[in-house]
């Protein structure tokens, strides 16, 4: 892991000692970058030390897998553009990646390019990203054949906003080659907008209008599925942080006028978002309200407003994941949950444990996908001129064949059958893209240049036992 959360004060300080090697099947260490020779390179001074610390956890749990994530918004955009430009530079990167991953005992690679065709990347990079994914998958298969080692895994963090997806990815070509796809379904709204809105709503709000009808999880997942991504490979993004606003009038509900972010949290120290443990401290005085149509809560106190996720919304999102037959949930981030149980009086990792607990409650009727509602004839969330417009199954993962049209990381069980996909919106305006970053006219490139972890819960039904089990993945990241 790169180590930014280790610099947080007091009980918020996060280090590898906070990792339970039995909690999840995958730990993804971020970030590495790409140097001027198109080779994978470390970023932090103690990366190699933490590579060892992380991979030493396999001696405690040999079934745990680790991946290295390369890219991000700070060190990852320009190097990707240069690297994919020529076949020779892509091959240099691929050879470097295999050497680096094997030398440091990683089990795979996670691509975090934000995004092909965006932020200075030419339109042709959409195709070049496809070529990179295909060439990596082929090289990983050949490496496994030649070394007689388990094939390296390949995954990617991808955009959630419809226009970004359409410009960045040839989904039908990359999906068969990726083991799982992390859809960053968060940062749909934030302090860059003139009215309050939730960070990660499951569905649209009836107050939404125009393109903002599409700023929600259901639309994003439906679009990815509609473009050909297998449901079982899609991981829904679940944030363990909330987006904050500073209210500018006496109104304090959803869609209330706002002017910038609330004060920075005492531990994350970045205006615009609070870690869940900071939300817990806020809730000691604040009033919390459940948004029934979006299945998420917000809280207010004084002029501060935060849209966050709770144990209740975690359960709702797990029901959605199960209902649509998705591969699971990736949580951004481990270190912003109350990992030590020091703040929320709910035990360690309350949100993540709720995700796991909810897996045993799938006999209840799951939430079904809903189409975006038509705007009612009443005032919208903001006048058009005021709206900002920023453009464990089991833990046994078998050795796989060289190529496959399905996930090469499929455990020894099958995924739940996906529900039928709902309709996909024809268009949506561009907007800030996830905690991972966005255009200069939108939110900050990253809410905090220091994400230390994320978590996946992947749901599978065993055909023989009909028992729902899980595979969990953590990310460690520091930008």
pLDDT tens digit sequence for 75-110: 779 999 999 999 999 999 999 999 999 999 999 999
Q: Where are the beta strands (DSSP E) in 264-313?
A: 273-275, 287-291, 296-301, 304-307
If you average pLDDT over every residue of the chain, what do you get? Answer: 80
User: Nearest-CA neighbor of 140 among 151, 124, 125?
Assistant: 151
Fill in the DSSP letter of residue 180. E
User: Nearest-CA neighbor of 274 among 316, 252, 246?
Assistant: 246
pLDDT the model gives residue 15: 83
What is the rounded CA–CA span in Å between residue 324 and residue 459?
11
pLDDT the model gives residue 3: 66
What is the rounded CA–CA span in Å between residue 113 and residue 93?
14
Crossing angle for the helix pair 311-324 and 350-358, nearest 10 degrees?
40
pLDDT tens digit sequence for 417-455: 333 333 333 333 233 333 333 333 344 333 333 333 344
Fill in the DSSP letter of residue 334. G
Q: What's the first-to-final CA gap in the chain, in angstroms? A: 11
Percent of the chain with pLDDT over 70: 74
The superfamily (CATH) of domain 5-241+310-476 is Glycosidases (3.20.20.80)
pLDDT tens digit sequence for 342-387: 999 999 989 988 988 897 643 333 343 444 433 333 333 433 333 3
């Amino acid at each position: 892991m790169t180590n930014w959360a280790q610099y947080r004060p007091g009980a918020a300080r996060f280090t590898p000692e906070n990792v339970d090697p039995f909690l999840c099947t995958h730990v993804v260490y971020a970030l590495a970058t790409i140097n001027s020779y198109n080779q994978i390179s470390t970023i932090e001074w103690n990366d190699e030390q933490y590579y060892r610390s992380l991979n030493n956890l396999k001696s405690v749990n040999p079934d745990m897998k680790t991946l290295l994530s390369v890219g991000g918004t700070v060190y990852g955009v320009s190097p990707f553009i240069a690297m994919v430009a020529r076949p020779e530079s892509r091959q240099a990167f691929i050879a470097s990646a295999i050497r680096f991953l094997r030398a440091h005992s990683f089990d795979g690679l996670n691509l975090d390019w934000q995004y092909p065709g965006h932020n200075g990347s030419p339109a042709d990079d959409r195709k070049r990203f496809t070529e990179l994914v295909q060439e990596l998958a082929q090289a990983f298969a050949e490496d496994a054949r030649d070394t007689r080692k388990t094939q390296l895994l390949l995954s990617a963090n991808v955009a959630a906003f419809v226009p970004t997806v359409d410009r960045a990815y040839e989904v039908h070509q990359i999906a068969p080659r990726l083991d799982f796809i992390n859809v960053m379904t968060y940062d749909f709204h934030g302090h860059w907008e003139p009215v309050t809105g939730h960070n990660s709503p499951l569905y649209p709000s009836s107050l939404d209008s125009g393109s903002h009808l599409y700023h929600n999880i259901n639309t994003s997942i439906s679009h990815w599925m509609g473009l050909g991504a297998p449901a079982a490979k899609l991981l829904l993004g679940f944030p363990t942080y909330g987006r904050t606003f500073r209210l500018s009038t006496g109104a304090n509900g959803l869609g209330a006028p706002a002017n910038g972010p609330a004060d920075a949290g005492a531990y994350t120290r970045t205006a615009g978002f609070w870690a869940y443990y900071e939300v817990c401290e806020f809730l000691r005085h604040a009033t919390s309200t459940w948004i029934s149509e979006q299945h998420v809560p917000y809280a207010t106190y004084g002029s501060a407003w935060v849209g966050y996720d709770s144990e209740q919304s975690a359960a709702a999102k797990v029901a959605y994941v199960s209902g649509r037959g998705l591969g699971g949930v990736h949580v951004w981030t481990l270190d912003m949950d109350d990992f030590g149980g020091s703040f929320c009086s709910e035990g360690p990792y309350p949100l993540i444990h709720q995700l796991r607990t909810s897996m045993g409650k799938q006999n209840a009727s799951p939430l079904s996908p809903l189409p975006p509602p038509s705007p009612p004839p009443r005032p919208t969330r903001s006048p058009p001129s005021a709206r900002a417009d920023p453009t464990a199954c089991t833990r046994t993962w078998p050795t796989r064949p060289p190529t496959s049209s399905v996930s090469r990381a499929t455990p020894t069980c099958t995924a739940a059958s996906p529900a039928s996909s709902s309709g996909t919106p024809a268009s949506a305006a561009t907007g800030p893209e996830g905690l991972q970053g966005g255009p200069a006219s939108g939110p900050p490139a990253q809410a905090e240049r220091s994400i230390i972890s994320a978590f996946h819960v992947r749901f599978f039904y065993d055909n023989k036992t009909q028992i729902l089990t899980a595979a969990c993945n953590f990310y460690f990241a520091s930008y």
